[in-house]
Structure 1
Amino acid sequence: MPGFIGLTLVQTLTPLRIFGMLTFPSDLESLQELANTLKFYKTENYSYVLLLFCSAYLYKQSFAIPGSSFLNMLGGAIFGPWVGLMLTCLLATFGSTFCFLLSSAFGKQYVVHFFPEKVALLQMKVEENRSSLFFFLLFLRFFPMTPNWFLNITCPVLNIPLSIFFFSVLIGLIPYNFICVRTGSVLSQLSSLDDIFSWGTLTQLLAIALMALLPGALIKRFGTAHLKLDGVTSNGTGRDRKSR
């Protein structure tokens, strides 16, 4: 009996001890190190790793903390390209929705106070494109003109219906998530940084980029004909893709 209790305590406390040493990745080296650790641990404790990843992702999205690109790549490295893509799309959507609800309940006045010019510009564009609102939001998600975290906290101020917001995030972030997840899956297979410049890796990354450009090109073509986008690209909030 004591041996059984001891084994149970080890199995319970080991994930807590390991998880306590983990931090959000901030560069390629820390990303690969964290991915290798979690992939090794996932073989026997899949549920712990899945719970940790989902909790971390929802935390960052719900509280509008920039830097989802590294988590997307981590998801691809741990769970593979397709499971990782499904997870990141769902988590990004629900996390953004939580952020939307938090901003709607507690943050509207702060958003207007700290970002008056950007909110005013987006408000004007939303009203101009009210008849094509869903496609306008898709356009903003496909192209890094405005960071996703800023859209999440601003949409309640702009009176965007929750249903339109939800599906625009779910669909609009697929290309971005696909790029990050597939890249993370590729990078996790590298044994050294020199492997990045191999023909096989470069070909995969090029294919990822071309596939991700297709839906954006379609939306851009639609936007040119139907959406009023003058001034949206000059808001200065989308210069750093990592801030998405």
Structure 2
Amino acid sequence: MRSIVGLVGVLSAATCYLYLLSTHLPAVSPIPSDNTDEDSEVKEYRLKFPSDLDELRELAETLKFYKREHHNYVLLLFCSAYLYKQSFAIPGSSFLNMLAGALFGTWEGLALTCLLTTSGSTFCYLLSSAFGKEHVIRLFPDKVALLQRKVEENKRSLFFFLLFLRLFPMTPNWFLNVTSPILNIPLTLFFPTVLIGLIPYNFICVRTGSILSKISSMDDIFSWGTLAQLLAIACVALLPGALIRRYSQVALDGAEQTQDRGQHHKAQ
């Protein structure tokens, strides 16, 4: 019960902060009216998380308008919204990645999303460690058990295994974030695998956001060709781990054989 109260308290505080930040927009110069050069109109803007491409385009145009005079405010708002979603395992990071591309360009947007993804995932890890372990196990016992077995099987090459899971997310990233404390994955291993492993995915989304006006559906982003590229990168990341496991086993078998011979000679 205490863990639920603590989590609800953190979520409520974060929600209030984000609500106040998004509803108290700074003043901007009015938009000139199409009817006359002298008249002007002030449009009321209501910010919310986008749920489709049309809402994403509208939000991008609104924030671009504010960004001309209030760059730091838009940056703070974007970072706060991104961390909110990542920290509380709320789906929709692809839309925010595209929004980063539309607002900040490909390379600045990529650097920003990689930093925010890693930071938000780390916050999610810490929240799960502090408040959610028992609830995650209770809600997803089979999935946690399966992931636990995979982690044990790849213990000698855990870095590359985690990197593979991030590069080609067959298991959702939010689930990896909340289960990592349960699987006893240390932060020193968790942090770099998130930072490196999500670069290709973030790049695809951010690059798409930089040409947002040309995108007609989400299928244009995650095509079969794109998925094949992610799978190829993931397999490359998994290869070193497979080699480590193989040669570790060979070395272990060799050591056991040497020990058996030594014991045999002593017996003689």
TM over 0.5: yes
Paired letter, 1:138: L
Q: Report the CA distance between 1:74 and its aligned residue.
A: 0.6
* Distance in 2 of aligned mates of 1:41 and 1:214: 40
Matched, 1:32 2:57: yes
Matched, 1:21 2:46: yes
Q: Report the CA distance between 1:135 and its aligned residue.
A: 0.5
SS at match of 1:144: coil
**Could you tell me which residue of structure 1 aligns to residue 78 of structure 2?**
53
* Distance in 2 of aligned mates of 1:122 and 1:160: 12
Which structure 1 residue ranges, 4+ long, deviate > 6 Å from structure 2? 16-20, 205-211
**Could you tell me which residue of structure 1 aligns to residue 250 of structure 2?**
none
Superimposed CA distance per residue, residues 8-40 of structure 1 (whole angstroms, 9 cap, x where no aligned partner): xxxx95438999711111111111111111112
Matched residues, percent identical? 65
**Could you tell me which residue of structure 1 aligns to residue 189 of structure 2?**
164
**1:152 is matched with which residue: 161, 177, 186?**
177
Query: Which structure ranks higher in relative contact order (CA pairs < 8 Å, sequence separation ≥ 6)?
Result: 1
* Distance in 1 of aligned mates of 2:88 and 2:47: 20
**2:236 is matched with which residue: 218, 237, 242?**
218
* Distance in 1 of aligned mates of 2:137 and 2:24: 45
**Could you tell me which residue of structure 1 aligns to residue 107 of structure 2?**
82
Query: Aligned in 2, Cα 1:193/1:104: closer, same or farther, shift over 3 Å?
Result: closer
Paired letter, 1:120: A
| Within-5 A mapping of 1:1-244 | 14-15=25-26, 21-188=46-213, 190=214, 193=216, 215-222=233-240, 225=243
Query: Aligned in 2, Cα 1:207/1:185: closer, same or farther, shift over 3 Å?
Result: farther
TM-score under structure 2 length normalisation: 0.69
Paired letter, 1:100: Y
Q: Report the CA distance between 1:221 and its aligned residue.
A: 3.9
Q: Which runs of 5+ in 2 are unaligned?
A: 1-22, 29-42, 247-268
Q: Which runs of 5+ in 1 are unaligned?
A: 1-11, 229-244
Paired letter, 1:137: L
* Distance in 2 of aligned mates of 1:104 and 1:16: 41
SS at match of 2:210: helix
**Cα RMSD, aligned residues only:** 3.1
TM-score under structure 1 length normalisation: 0.76
Query: Aligned in 2, Cα 1:227/1:65: closer, same or farther, shift over 3 Å?
Result: farther
Query: Aligned in 2, Cα 1:132/1:220: closer, same or farther, shift over 3 Å?
Result: closer
